[in-house]
Amino acid sequence: MKGLVKSIENFSPSQSWVKKIESLVPQYSKVGDSVFFSKEQFPWAEELEANWQVIRQELDQVMQHAEALPNFQDISPRQKNLANDNLWKTYFFQAFGFKAQANCDRCPKTTRLLQKIPGMKVAFFSILAPGKHIPEHRGKHKGLIRYHLGLKVPEPREKCRIRVNNQIAYWEEGKSLIFDDTFYHEVWNETEDYRVVLFLDIARPMRFPMNLVNWLVCTLISVSPIIQVAKGNHESWEKQFEALTR
């Protein structure tokens, strides 16, 4: 088990076993193998869109303390290649089994909606400050699918965008954007306001036996040092935030 956990800690698309899984996913995927997906492939997305203003109301309360929210790299040091400034803030609900209970309690309606989503592994408000550019990168596990729900999308539209593979997409408030993050992608917020999405990682729906393989990989991630470090960092931030907002 320790060896498997160590492999997850050093998880890289260049590893032979990761390449093997990635090569098999298209064959067993229930939602195909494309860059972007439609919301119709994920029935739960409809309810999120229908309730986006409810989520936005809770986000607005959170954003009153935007400057005090943790930078992504402060929670997950592995993100330092993508975020080494204070322009990418986060507000986590959960990540691979770790639940940020105090954050969930502050946003009870959002939390109830999230609890209905099958296979959800990661959920947080992803908050990009004006001028933030996230450089090109790719996800490490094709067994996950990335979901964004636009909550606060500044104008002009063309200055707030994401490129996935060779396709440019734009967020819309109340609309879903779903993609395979193992394609190289990068993000720009060249506007003068915050861009916020509800950011989810969902276990890709797959047929047997790859659904079991995916379950195993996600389980190993949940007990890996990657998650344990992030959990500890979040708990440290939470104590400071509680004192600030009390």
Q: What is the DSSP string of the chain?
A: -HHHHHHHHT--TTSHHHHHHHHHHHHHBTT-S-SEE-GGGSTHHHHHHHTHHHHHHHHHHHGGGGGGSPBHHHH-GGGGGT--SSSEEEEEEEETTEE-HHHHHHSHHHHHHHTT-TTEEEEEEEEEPTT-EEEEE--S-TTEEEEEEEEE-PSPGGGEEEEETTEEE---TT-EEEE-TTS-EEEEE-SSS-EEEEEEEEEPPB-TTHHHHHHHHHHHHHTSHHHHHHHHHHHHHHHHHHHHH-
Nearest Cα neighbor of 183 from 196, 168, 198, 171 is 168
- pLDDT band of residue 35 (cuts 50, 70, 90) is very high
As a whole number of angstroms, the distance between CA 161 and CA 168 comes to 7
pLDDT at 18: 80
Distances (CA, A) of 225 to 6, 191, 199, 231: 9, 36, 22, 10
Segment 10-31 mean pLDDT: 83
What is the average pLDDT value for the chain, to the nearest integer? 93
pLDDT (tens digit per residue) in 131-176: 999 999 999 999 999 999 999 999 998 999 999 999 999 999 999 9
Range name among 56-60, 219-223, 240-244 with the lowest pLDDT average: 240-244
Amino acid found at 96: F
Q: Domain ranges in the chain?
A: 2-245
HSE (side-chain half, CA atoms, 13 Å) at 128: 29
Of 221, 236, 238, 243, nearest in space to 78 by CA: 221
pLDDT at residue number 14 = 59
39-48 pLDDT, tens digit each? 999 999 999 9
What is residue 245's predicted lDDT score, i.e. its pLDDT? 76
pLDDT value for 73: 96
Question: Tens digit of pLDDT for each residue in 174-188?
Answer: 999 999 999 999 999
Q: What fold does the segment set 2-245 form as a domain?
A: Jelly Rolls (2.60.120)
Q: Between 14 and 243, whose confidence is greater? A: 243
